[in-house]
Amino acid sequence: MKNIHITFIGGGNMAASLIGGLIADHVDPSRITVTDLNPQRLQSLAARFKVLTSSDNAAAITDAQVVVLAVKPQVLRAVAVELADAVQAYRPLVVSIAAGVRSADLQRWLGGGAAVVRAMPNTPALVQTGATGLFASPQVIAEQRDLAESILRTAGLTLWVTDEAQMDAVTALSGSGPAYFFRIMEGLENAGTDLGLPRETARLLTLQTALGAAKMALESSESLATLRERVTSPGGTTERGLRVMAEKNIDELLAQVLKAARDRATELADILGEK
């Protein structure tokens, strides 16, 4: 990957996160080009990462083996149509991190036949602890799959799905998921405060407990249910709290949350594809 030229179309926070990860992975900044409509953003990225910058999208991809589309979904069609001739001429791997845009729609806007990888990263990628779902179009060869995975892995975990419809579930679970965990942590912090803890104490205990639980789960080969059972003493405080969760049917609530988010992801993909 170190000899590959990568062009980012769009220089927002997610692009900056991936650029930072690539450079930390010893990719030469002179082999990374970023385009953006905001001159100040380009100046900032050039100063921070020493990457090349441009305001001409089509010209910036002429010698790129990988093009990362890091623009808002609402403008992706216009950007893709602008890039179509260059993509057809130079045939780079196209990685889209625009949420909700299906690969078939992107293919159509690019003129067809392009090697497209659709990626759904989440906001913890900004601190290199993200989770990204990936889907490859049939035109993507094995080497390009490895390349796309290497790029997104600089921001955290990467997982492939074989059915693009599953990307809506990925969006619901990991794409939107950080907000759900923030909301749960917000509730725990407030509840701890209601029980008499100082606000900052409740906050830090909540955050460290969430971090520790996630770290234990990631580093363990045991199921989440087994880990839960191991910290639940019969007749103890944890058991009493879990009983309330069961009575309130937390599993059904979480299922409804993810289904609502999944259904909205599908609706948005339909809307974006029509434009």
Which of 113, 145, 167 is at the close of a domain?
Answer: 167
Residue 113 and residue 45 share a domain:
yes
Whole-number pLDDT of residue 3: 82
Whole-number pLDDT of residue 192: 98
Q: What is the CA radius of gyration of the chain?
A: 21
Residue 155 and residue 215 share a domain:
no
Residue 83 and residue 148 share a domain:
yes
Q: What is the CATH number of the domain that holds 39?
A: 3.40.50.720
pTM (two decimals)? 0.92
Are 109 and 78 spatial neighbours (Cβ–Cβ below 8 Å)? no
Residue 22 and residue 81 share a domain:
yes
Residue 64 and residue 181 share a domain:
no
Whole-number pLDDT of residue 275: 56
Whole-number pLDDT of residue 169: 97
Its domain, for residue 193, covers 177-269
Question: Rounded to the nearest 5 degrees, what angle is found at the Cα of 135, between the Cα atoms of 129 and 141?
Answer: 110
Residue 26 and residue 159 share a domain:
yes
Whole-number pLDDT of residue 133: 97
Whole-number pLDDT of residue 163: 96
Residue 199 contacts by C-beta under 8 Å, 6 or more apart in sequence? 189, 193
Residue 2 contacts by C-beta under 8 Å, 6 or more apart in sequence? 26, 27, 28, 31
With respect to residue 130, please indicate whether it lies within any of the assigned structural domains: yes
Residue 143 and residue 24 share a domain:
yes
Whole-number pLDDT of residue 274: 76
Residue 213 and residue 123 share a domain:
no
Residues of the chain with pLDDT under 50: none
With respect to residue 44, please indicate whether it lies within any of the assigned structural domains: yes
With respect to residue 115, please indicate whether it lies within any of the assigned structural domains: yes
